[in-house]
Structure 1
Amino acid sequence: MKKYEALAKDILENVGGVENINSVFHCVTRLRFKLKDEKIANTEKIKALDGVVSVVQSGGQYQVVIGNNVPDVYSTFIEIAGINPENAGEEKSTGNIFNRFIDFISGVFTPVLGVLAATGMIKGFAAMFLAFGWLTEQSGTYQILYAVGDSLFNFFPIFLGYTASKKFGSNIFVGMAIGASMVYPTLAGIMAGKPLYTLFEGTVIASPIHVTFLGIPVILMSYASSVIPILIAIWFSSKVENLMKKIIPDVVKTFLVPFFTLLIVVPLTFLIIGPIATWAGQLLGAATIWVYNLSPIIAGLLLGGFWQVFVIFGLHWGLIPIAMNNLAQMHFDPILAMSFAASFAQIGAVLAVMIKSKNEKLKSLSVPAFISGIFGVTEPAIYGVTLPLKKPFIMSCIGGAIGGAIIGGAHVKSYIMGGLGIFGIPNFFKPGGSIGFSVLMVIIAIVVAFIIGAVLTLIFGFKDPANAKAETEAGNRETETLIEREILVSPMEGEVITLAEVPDEAFASGALGKGTAIKPQAGKVFAPASGVATTVFPTGHAIGIKTDEGAEVLIHIGLNTVQLNGEHFTTHIKQGDRVEAGELLSEFDIEKITAAGYDVTTPVIITNSDKYLDILVVDDQNVKVGDRLITLVI
């Protein structure tokens, strides 16, 4: 204990003391804190401590990377901090909701990205067939194609209810039921009727009331294609469900837990979550009108630049009633017109990603995202390509802003609420008039937005998982003639990537050791060499082996998978066992781990890298179990 006492005290002091700690536990290489306020932590001082490799802040966790000595540091830390080891990993408060949201947002979209891209393409092609006159709206072929293409978008809350519940570990069928309630056809149809009365009439947040719940007015909104309301609802549902499990007797939990969870969450979703989103959208609409009256160019910059952000948070619904009212009263609308170029800036950025990326999976996802984006369906592009890469999304927003400024500055107006994407251009044809100046400016705006989105993405680039691959290729061949070496074979079947491509700073930086990483195609791990299992983590997500030749190898199955607490992992060895090259060490369920929102990318690193003159990784993109993977040059 004394060996790490000073380090533990320094870490405790610089994370803000025990009063700033919600929970702390450790994995193979790092202490994982959930802090009440990460801003209190002195990150630079912690990084500078002797014994600390790095600090990673990700997904609501404050991770202090220690290395192989982390179990001893952890034991010393909880003793000095006076934390009960049995309760160390339990959260003491709800923590920062925003951080929790960031932690699961990518996880809830990952399982549906393929279907999202596919349905977007089908919806776009159906619109194209209609526009070209190949099909009519009354055609059964068109109606079936459109039903397939629009199914996911119209019932998006149901799909997100499933994936978000998986991420939170709550009942997935309760989550789907909450999402289904939000898009239930009868409730959606009620909004088309005459309202009973209007709340806050005469104000910016005037809200028509069509129905009440126990006498309480319900402000309905269209939840189709929405994202944020269902995610907030599922987060709240997970809390209610956990509470119900604690207070309801086991004999009736099966039906009473879902019963009370739905009975509490669904009404509160309609009464609180929906109105907040509705009012936020109405305020946004009022602000847009005010800015437009002040300066159409500034309004175009803001609306075009932030339109995609508004769509993500569902705030764009506040602008649609204003546009519809403008069309009804004035027979034209200048507001939504300014957002028209944003989708073209988005597909410009996607095209740049498609051209620049060397990652085959990313390129293959970019193709359908680009096609559906042409027709105005940009969800696959946003959630599948640009938003995860960050920079392309920002560049698309800049392109959308410039396009919006051109449209606003030219005082362009739309005359109907018609098609999207390229089929939205007819929206700007003035009834009874010629194509005219407005349509020309719209075409100029979308071309400029497209070019800016593409060019800026090409110039500023993005963190491509495949970019760093070529950096080691030359060195791999230069030392091929050296004789003294140890060869490690691949412990699994999959795609080989460099550590720099791993979306985790501690591994990507090489701070924990040199090596490579594999994106597994089968859920089995085999010994890369003969030796002794020095570390077999209880959760099964990491195994350390010291080979007979002295290499210390860490196989870390997935990223942040320690949080699964052993679920979906089956370990076939224990610490201290002798293992032979090719022996089965562990099995894991790729589909279930991925569905839970975790990346299964598996770093294979040499933790005693300093012992070697060089560490060479094979050039092959794909390997099978037993193929040469790493050559250690002495």
Structure 2
Amino acid sequence: MASKYDGLARIIIQNVGGRENIISLAHCVTRLRFKLKDESKANTEVLKATEGIVTVMKSGGQYQIVIGNHVPDVYDVVCEHAHLVGNGAVSEDAEDGGEKMGLGARLIDLISGVFQPFLGVLCAAGIIKGLLALWSFIASQSGIDVTTSGAYQLWYSIGDGFFYFLPIILGYTAAKKFKMNEFIGMALGISLTYPALVNLTSGELIGSLFAGTSFEMNYYTTFFGIPVIMPSSGYTSSVVPIVIAVACAAWLEKRLKKVIPDVIKTFIVPVVTLAVMVPLTYLVIGPVSTFLCNIIGIIFGAIYNLPVVGGLVAGILVGAFWQVLVIFGLHWGLVPLAMINYGTLGYDFILSPYFAASFAQSMVVLAIVLKTKDKQLRNIALPAFISGLFGVTEPCIYGITLPKKKPFVISCIASAIGGGIIGFAGVKTYMMGGLGFFGLPAFIDGESKSVYSLIWVLIGMAVAMVVAFVATYITYHDDAPQNDEAKIEKKGTKTAANQVIASPLTGEVKALEEVEDEAFSSGALGQGVAILPSEGKLYAPCDGEVVTFFPTGHAIGIVSDGGAEILIHVGMDTVKLDGEGFTPKVAQGAKVKKGDLLLEFDIAKITEAGYSVLTPVIISNTADYADVVPTDAKKVAALDTLITVL
């Protein structure tokens, strides 16, 4: 079934270098996250200029295309057209051809790949749990205990259950990330949340290691005499042990598949993998990861507990740099720290100061909405402001504040002030909440009914919002409009002059609307015509430079000496031929003269493969001209007049 994002999806696929250049694809709240074999094949400027794309970022080994709140819909259509499977992965061994990432980039990629698939449900569970805490607090003021009611308990099973059984969910997503049997990953998670083992920690204590220290670990049973050391609450709600266990299990599974006969591989590989990994997880991986997590917690706790300034300094740093981390997708590196705290302490204090950032960013944009006289900017800024209030700030950042620089700096300063207040007050969150306003209930302690953290986070938010709004409203001024001559000089072109673009092909002229691709037929990529070629030779339609020539030979972009940007796309979906039937005669970057042979293509081979050879010829910078006038002829020979640009 056709989607309104079909055209956008095709543009994205073509300009990331085609399906064959995609290793994998995932998405977060606002952006598509590609891992590409060769990022140099991606046409970043074309993507940035495409309607429906906010901007393009390269970070953490990922090629990130920022779409906005409707990114899940675009993701689905891209996966459909690019024939991606599962979580956007192309194949199990496609990654081998990709560019090697550094340790930091690989870590961020791992964290985002494991957490992104269930982020929406994780936030939903947090919102439900937070709202129940709010309900319980309000009811307790009247002496009513709603926690015993059936309604509370049913909803609480969702909010608390998701976090309690988090290792099972992480077992699944981590297994997909490490390309192993997902159900083995889930089985490892089930073993970590199995009630009989969780309840061991409330039984008779056998012994203890590091007794009397912050690293004290008790054991209540043994495995052939080896102590089974566990945290006091078991491994429910934990994050690190299951991810490491799945990584090790993936390594083991891959090697078992090579040595176990195919006839018994289906069940023997899981048997051996689980029989080895479950004890290994309880005996080694769990205790070691718990020990390391305790060290991290102690370090951050020490920073926050420095006399007078600890929380203040930490809060300022988190508030000031959170949005910078968001730009590059590096904020994922801090998410596991919060999850560790929820699992071990029952609350988190590390990420609390970030909460002021989205509201500071939103109020900067609101000030611009009220101050600007640019109607187009206002139309973009108003929905971005609303989105920011609900925690999705990418439209604010990429669409408005970052390009204008000073507003972005103001938002960082304001969120640093708000974050400093939140950090200084020692604000805690008691669950992974939602974004923006939906995240406020997470600051209520559901057990003690304390709203201390909620009050201080509201104070920090309010201060950040006021500082951001006032500073922006006082300092913001619309950019001075450029006159047409300045625009022309800046572009370095002669777009004011009429230009005649010759036909690059011999064949039958068709209206652009007849092209079976919405990106072309709708004019989204520019105005022009289409040609049904009768000869497989494509000539330069003008003097200029070949700025784009896809390796597959199916599409070529030329900038004329007069400044017209011409895109010629031979056939529809012909990128899938992977260059079969196409013979380029010039290279990208070549200077050409009108009439130079640029490409030869085999019409018969293309049509036999089931693809149309109808070829759009468009002026991609149509907006720079008064009009684009196609010929009224029904047929053209190569180098006949095809388009006049006014």
Q: TM-score, normalised by structure 2?
A: 0.49
Larger gyration radius, structure 1 or structure 2: 2
